[in-house]
Structure 1
Amino acid sequence: MKRHQKLMGIAALGAAFALVMSGCAPAGNGGGDNGEGEAQTVEGADYNPQPRENLAEGGELRIPVSNIAEQLNYFHSDGDARVTQIATWFRPQILLMDPDGTVKKNDAYLDDYSFGIEDGKTVLHFKVNEKAVWNDGTPIDVTAFKATWEANSGENEEYQPNATDGWKEIESVEAGENDRDVIVTFKGEFAWPEMVYSQLLHPDVNTPELFNTAFLGDWHPEWAAGPYTVDEYDKTGGVVTLVPNEKWWGNAPLLDKVSFIQMEPTAAVNALRNGEVDMAETGSAELLAQVEGLEGVETYKGQATGNAIFTLNSANPVLADLNVRKAIFEAISIEQVKEIVFNGLNYTEEPAGSLTLFSFQPNYVNALEEAGRKDGDVDGANKLLDEAGWVVGDDGIREKDGERLSLVFPNHSDTETARARSLAVQAQLKEVGVEVTIDTRPSADFAEDYTTQNGDIFFLSFTSSDPFGAAWFCQLYCSDSGLNLSGTGTPEIDKMIHEELETISDPEEQTKKAMEMESQIFAETWGIIPVLNGPEIWTVKEGLANLTPEPYSGLDLFGITPVENVGYEK
């Protein structure tokens, strides 16, 4: 279910893609109390959970999203968190999750779900509901489980999956008593069997060409299955409209219509004020101020399960040197960035020193600190750049062999918070002789810009769909990962992950080993570092319940609930 981490462009934060890529907006006030008393942390989920019997039938839900990527296959490496957010409403959710990360079957799709050790190997058992069918009439059975595994396993390198973690550990997918009885056998004892099969791929998507290209600009609702279906997709206008699916066999969806509308974060808040959308991300003081006193809405604050990060594009020759990248990361003051992002939100948090675990999880270690990084260390950064042969020129910018130490920093957000954050980084790096050009771009461009590395420094968010952090370690740090595009992975790191980490079958021991490795990898690559987590803050129409059924996004920690249960209180 943390099937993969996802890139997010950071909305109020300043553009989050979800890796999926997605827009996450942390809240808080790292810079003090702003006269509101001592800064507070945000803990747990906050999303108005309600049983179906408390909710009315009917109504419309209009959700703003920062971007809709061209790649609409959420298993693909270019699919982002917003694609997953939207597609979850009309593609199979066969496994659900409580906010704390406890996995359970979705009764609409599965009659039974279990796993255990059999003959020294971890084995998953699924019994699919005999009513479950794809929209084109194809039964949901072992063929879908096989197609999903084959596309994500990494065996056929022509497929471009978001992650092979977990999938590559599977030995076979076979039918049991019948095709609805699915048996998934791993190669040995495997620590994280619940990480796979939260969602399924239609069995007709059975070639690399279809997997990689069929979903470009096309949702393919015939290859979907769920309470809703795609009624209309205005690609130019960035609007996806969903309606109840006549072929759905489970509990009827409560809403008459669900729309996802692409817009910038400031525009989304204005649209909420004007009654044009029913929820908006309000994760900064400037956005919260826009909804202060607004009638008919409620604001929810939950602990975000995402990391805002900085990445560097090592394909740029000026960033090829490890010590140059380390110097840039040391010159940046994360504490100042947090003060800007959390300003006015009366929020504080523990340092986000890991991309594997959050500070509220057991066995968390501040791996970034362990790697030896010092925050805002101007002297240390200058020393590293001097040693690397970069000489300060007359205008204060360093040069080497006739080339300036100049970087492009894309900013995919229209908020003042994002602008202030970018200007702070620009000033911090100028202090050590690094020229930074801020290039403000539409949020809609984020996915393409990141996946093509159209820039040198990126500020974005990795958001997690489950708590199994170590399970996805390769997705973060392997050299062929479609998530970490810094280009700083190495064959030696790959070998270490595969031979020393992934061979550990005990989840706790593997997690402890991952935390040890993470600090080593930071020190050997300096291509990607965590910055902050933040809270998730949304202002929504009063009475809206079960707000965030999709993974990677929302106010319910790791929770995934049935989309048909989203609705308005009676």
Structure 2
Amino acid sequence: MITTGSGLVRRSAAVVAAALMVVAASAGCGAALDGGPSGSTEPEINPQPRSAISEGGSLTTALPEITPQWNIFHADSTAYAQTVWRWFNPTLAYFAPDGTYSFNRDFLTDVRTEVVDGKTVVTYTINPKAHFNDGTPIDWRSFDSTWRVSRGVDPSYVVSSTDGYDQIESVTRGVDDRQAVVRFEDIWAWPNGLFNYLMHPKAADAQTFNRGYLRNPHPEWGAGPYTISSYDANARTVVLERNPQWWGKRGKLDRRVFRQMEDQASLNAFRNGELDALSFASKDARAQVLTMGDIDIRTASSPQKSLLIVNLDAPLLSDPRVREGLLRGIDRATLARIRFTGLNFTEPLLGSLVMYPFQPGYTDNVSGVIDYDQGRARQLLDRAGWRVGDDGIRQRDGRSLQLSLPLLGDSPAVQNLARALQAMLRQIGIDIALPVRPNSDFSQVVINKEFDLFLMGFQSTDPYGTAYFCQIWCEGSQLNRAGAGSPELDAEIRKLARIADPKAQIARGNVLERQAFGQFSDLPLFNGPAMVATKQGLANYGAGQFYIGPVEDVGWQK
């Protein structure tokens, strides 16, 4: 895995993943993989029925960070926290690789969506066997708690996202406690993106919500086929075993283990047999795993977006002319070639942070707004008062135009990409420092904004990108780490959310995104491939597009 960090959970749809980052999620899109023709790529997860999977065994993989904030509804949580969360907490929604929704029948017996009096109403009927590990029934109160912490009304809750939840009028009891009726204020185009995970009612007060999960996963508030048997924050290891409280199908694995490791250490551990699967995205890692025996390499295009963000709070970047000049000085095509060298992968330049090129309604919203043009970049910087000094670096008022882009982890691929970016910007008189920090510093760097520029990624876990437009572009959004936005744009985004027809909402979203890119705060770089190397025989795991399936079916073929 290429990482300079992890990410922030984008509720139900996207996650800020590791910078540049390719994580173990994948998608079919218009790209050429391993010399294949340009076009969609089938996900590769080795799908197998339960009857073909052995009882027992373990699965050990690495994560760049065991995130301190375990509450995935909290703004400081990460993609990595969500990866672990799904193994021991209620997961109500499954998604096929193409993004098709289905509900988990171990938790729900029916989901009915209808329009009543001009409002979307979703009725969830809950499996009467469903309960949290501490014995608390999973009922309508769990849905009510999830809504109340996520709707954004109470500022004491530091939430990851309010998108969709802020459109709900009420969550009420249905025919009995085991039915939740969710009524929206109007017609909501994306109801299947909500309530895919649930918050335990005991964690729903603000103090517990914000602080209760810090370095404490609270397995007693979870539910599912597995539960945490040990969590060692010092050894940076999480071990899960079968949950005796589980009422559904028995998990095939005896143990599921997550270990926090840097990129090179995880590659070495995989080669030594200490890890059973490895997500990677560099030519060097690919070359090494290709030499190994009894290994499968599972590859698909990835529903993630790598981008460069510009810290608008940094004094040297407050002038939009400086930001525009900086971004126009970056040759994204060259960066993409560097990124994909040795991977036999190509793709068109990325033009959106909301939609993917393989989705209906996608348009390139970057072209014409932020085009590579170093001549224009120099003009903008000149007009902003930054003049080239004797050393080639621009100066103004006795200060040099020197910016910091921290790199997290030890990935050579990330370092090569950053050095290329550094060289490009030096050509227009901007000096970029590249301090290196461990992957485990990701949360600190991002939350405290300890950067001028930063490489990050959004990873989608469902196909409803426009539903989460506000997460990326609203002023003050926890996912808007650049600090962009304005009251005027926020007002337009609120109007966007109320467009009932999905196609019309996507079309209007494309217009607004072009305006948003005009803030010169975020530059999309590429989607890229997901590549997962596994020991042979690992089933229902790998490069799976939008795939989210039952963890109890992950295991080793007979």
Q: Do 1:27 and 1:345's aligned partners in 2 also have CA atoms closer than 8 Å?
A: no
Letter in 1 for 2:12: R
> Structure 2: any 5+ residue segments left out of the alignment?
1-9
- Say yes or no: does 1:421 pair with 2:397: no
Given the alignment, which residue of 234, 238, 251 partners 1:253?
A: 251
Letter in 2 for 1:466: D
Letter in 2 for 1:202: H
Percent of matched pairs sharing the same residue: 37
Given the alignment, which residue of 488, 492, 516 partners 1:521?
A: 516
For 1:343 and 1:432, the matched residues in 2 are separated by 25
Match of 2:355 in 1: 357
Letter in 2 for 1:247: Q
For 2:75 and 2:135, the matched residues in 1 are separated by 28
Given the alignment, which residue of 375, 389, 400 partners 1:379?
A: 375
Q: Do 1:479 and 1:494's aligned partners in 2 also have CA atoms closer than 8 Å?
A: yes
After superposition, the Cα gap between the structure-2 partners of 1:448 and 1:41, relative to the gap in structure 1 and judged at 3 Å, is: farther
Match of 2:203 in 1: 205
Match of 1:446 in 2: 442
Moved segments of 4+, more than 3 Å: 22-28, 36-42
Match of 2:507 in 1: 512
Letter in 1 for 2:89: R
Match of 2:477 in 1: 481
For 1:23 and 1:245, the matched residues in 2 are separated by 25
Structure 1 residue 404: Cα displacement: 1.5
Structure 1 residue 413: Cα displacement: 2.7
> How many residue pairs end up in the alignment?
548
- Say yes or no: does 1:8 pair with 2:5: no
Give the alignment's TM-score, normalised by structure 2: 0.95
- Superposed CA offset, 1:530-564 (max 9, x none): 1100110010011101115xxxxxx2111110111
Letter in 2 for 1:468: Y
Secondary structure of the equivalent of 1:194? helix
Match of 1:70 in 2: 68
Q: Do 1:8 and 1:24's aligned partners in 2 also have CA atoms closer than 8 Å?
A: no
Q: Do 2:65 and 2:260's aligned partners in 1 also have CA atoms closer than 8 Å?
A: yes
Given the alignment, which residue of 125, 143, 146 partners 1:145?
A: 143
- Say yes or no: does 1:109 pair with 2:115: no
Structure 1 residue 25: Cα displacement: 10
Structure 1 residue 44: Cα displacement: 3.3
Q: Do 1:143 and 1:203's aligned partners in 2 also have CA atoms closer than 8 Å?
A: yes
Match of 1:552 in 2: none
Structure 1 residue 282: Cα displacement: 2.5
Match of 2:313 in 1: 315
Match of 2:269 in 1: 271
Structure 1 residue 101: Cα displacement: 1.2
Match of 2:123 in 1: 125
- Say yes or no: does 1:224 pair with 2:219: no
- Say yes or no: does 1:402 pair with 2:398: yes
Structure 1 residue 27: Cα displacement: 13
After superposition, the Cα gap between the structure-2 partners of 1:179 and 1:37, relative to the gap in structure 1 and judged at 3 Å, is: closer
Match of 1:551 in 2: none
Letter in 2 for 1:497: I
Q: Do 2:306 and 2:457's aligned partners in 1 also have CA atoms closer than 8 Å?
A: yes
After superposition, the Cα gap between the structure-2 partners of 1:74 and 1:3, relative to the gap in structure 1 and judged at 3 Å, is: same
For 2:36 and 2:167, the matched residues in 1 are separated by 48
- Say yes or no: does 1:564 pair with 2:539: no
Give the alignment's TM-score, normalised by structure 1: 0.93
For 1:391 and 1:406, the matched residues in 2 are separated by 13
> Structure 1: any 5+ residue segments left out of the alignment?
17-21, 549-554
Match of 2:5 in 1: none
Letter in 2 for 1:528: D
Q: How does 1:291-370 map to 2 (within 5 A)?
A: 291-370=289-368
Structure 1 residue 291: Cα displacement: 1.1
For 2:428 and 2:241, the matched residues in 1 are separated by 55
Q: What is the RMSD computed on CA atoms of the aligned residues?
A: 2.0
For 2:365 and 2:324, the matched residues in 1 are separated by 15
Q: Do 2:11 and 2:73's aligned partners in 1 also have CA atoms closer than 8 Å?
A: no
Letter in 2 for 1:119: D
For 1:338 and 1:414, the matched residues in 2 are separated by 20
After superposition, the Cα gap between the structure-2 partners of 1:169 and 1:398, relative to the gap in structure 1 and judged at 3 Å, is: same
Structure 1 residue 448: Cα displacement: 2.0
For 1:514 and 1:90, the matched residues in 2 are separated by 35
For 1:158 and 1:217, the matched residues in 2 are separated by 20
Structure 1 residue 69: Cα displacement: 1.6
Structure 1 residue 293: Cα displacement: 2.5
Secondary structure of the equivalent of 2:169? strand
For 1:456 and 1:219, the matched residues in 2 are separated by 32
Structure 1 residue 42: Cα displacement: 6.0
Match of 2:3 in 1: none
Structure 1 residue 64: Cα displacement: 0.7
Secondary structure of the equivalent of 2:147? helix
For 1:87 and 1:381, the matched residues in 2 are separated by 44
Q: Do 1:281 and 1:537's aligned partners in 2 also have CA atoms closer than 8 Å?
A: yes
Match of 1:187 in 2: 185
- Superposed CA offset, 1:54-107 (max 9, x none): 111100000111112211111111110000001100000111111111111101
Structure 1 residue 24: Cα displacement: 7.8
Match of 1:95 in 2: 93
- Superposed CA offset, 1:17-52 (max 9, x none): xxxxx6889999x9x99xx86885662311111111
Structure 1 residue 116: Cα displacement: 1.1
